[in-house]
Amino acid sequence: MNTPSTILSAIPRRLHLQHNHPIAITRQLIESRFPDYKTYNDLFPVVTVGQNFDSLGFPPDHVGRSRTDTYYLNKDTVLRTHTSAHQADTFRANESAGYLISADVYRRDAVDRSHYPVFHQMEGARVWDRETLQDGKTLAQTVWDDVAKIPKHTSIEVEDANPPYHPERNPLQDSHSAEEVEAIGAHLKRSLEDVVVTIFSTAKAATSASSSASAGTIPAAAIEPLKVRWVEAYFPFTSPSWELEVLWQGEWLEVLGCGIVKQPILAVAGVPSKLGWAFGLGLERIAMLLYSIPDIRLFWSTDSRFLSQFSSSQPLRRFLPYSKYPACVKDVSFWLRTAASAAGGRANNATAASHDFHENDVMEIAREVCGDLVEDVRLVDEFVHPGTGRRSLCYRTNYRSLERTLTNDETNELHERFRKQLVQKLGVELR
């Protein structure tokens, strides 16, 4: 068990289902591009290790299985780290050819304005069955017929220099034909390009409306074609695989990952005759782009100044930030314990003495002690003593409330509690 009460308390929030919440609005916007797909939005976040890792083919030594990355409730049960934890069960239920899953997911991660230990993902998939083909058509022909039904857009420029598969970088699975993969890959890419056009056209419209209101003109970027590109990728549960990037405000942004579902996943789910694709994206990432939200902590705010700005009936409205309150920066330096003396003699319990240092543990302590009053934590200095070989680290913590100005006394108290917990839980020696 390594799941703190602060994480458990987030489970009932379910931001993706809150009326007029930007996460929920973003979910609904994407769902609108898949009208015939079955949606699953209320799946419980506690899953087995088998569901979260084994069913997807994660190797036994995969870093995602580590306690430094995943919240365990016991050795067999975790808080899901991705919506793909439900993929095999959904394929097994066999309720529709296409489905979408949206849910809260949990990972131990960095502390900064774009990372939070609880966030929301959308998982989508579409399959075809070799045993139920009609009119004497092959599976590839059936898929190409479905590709023709997906809307085409003239407002998008697509860069895709990759072949449908590559024997080394992006291999074809043994049980798939080249014709099948080419057709399924085309359906996947066309479907997701349609989603991206909808998302970023909405974001452009919001940007241009805001700019033209203040300047009286429409920015050139608002009327230029949207540019996207496909990049070969690797995921444990798809092959071939790709990432989709969008050129947004002068930078290429990774939006989602996807690929052809590995056949053993479908076989284990009891539907070995089916082939298909799957994708996954982060709803926070899309919502931050859509509404120009600068800090991921804002999604968890209960401040009416934030929540009242959003409405599902007005998805083009941009977030108007209220005053940014001042930051308070404080450093903490410490020696890591050595093999000869756990934490230089400061550790006094077996747990600390046997615990290997990982940066995510520092982040977790900061969040547990300071909650959403900590904006970011980052390593700013590292030193190895030439004589003893002991390693020293210095982390800089930026305290900032999204709703008020923090007092010095309040920040000092938080930082002192943070320092003490580093000693108690990690067995470090403060400098």
Q: What residues does each domain of the chain span?
A: 5-307, 328-430
Instruction: Please state, in angstroms and rounded to a whole number, the distance separating the CA atoms of residues 212 and 114.
Output: 28
**CATH code for the domain defined by 328-430:** 3.30.70.380
Contact status, residue 327 vs residue 373, Cβ threshold 8 Å: no
**pLDDT tens track, the chain, 431 positions:** 999 998 999 999 999 999 999 999 999 999 999 999 999 999 999 999 999 999 888 889 888 899 999 999 999 999 999 999 999 999 999 999 999 999 999 999 999 999 999 999 999 999 999 999 988 899 999 999 999 999 888 888 999 998 999 999 999 999 999 999 999 999 999 999 999 998 888 777 766 655 544 444 444 444 578 899 999 999 888 999 999 999 988 889 999 999 999 999 999 999 999 999 999 999 999 999 888 899 999 999 988 888 888 887 766 666 777 768 899 999 999 999 875 544 343 434 433 333 478 999 999 999 999 999 999 999 999 999 998 889 999 999 999 998 889 999 999 999 999 999 999 999 999 99
pLDDT, position 155: 84
Residue 393 DSSP symbol:
E
pLDDT, position 379: 95
pLDDT, position 47: 97
Would you state the structure tokens that stand for residue 253, as one six-digit string?
Answer: 């942004």
pLDDT, position 1: 92
CATH superfamily of the 5-307 domain? Bira Bifunctional Protein; Domain 2 (3.30.930.10)
Distance of CA 197 to CAs 202, 205, 248, Å?
8, 12, 12
pLDDT, position 317: 65
Query: Can you say how many angstroms the Cα of residue 344 is from the centroid of all Cα atoms in its chain?
Result: 38
Distance of CA 16 to CAs 10, 22, 42, 84, 296, Å?
13, 8, 9, 17, 14
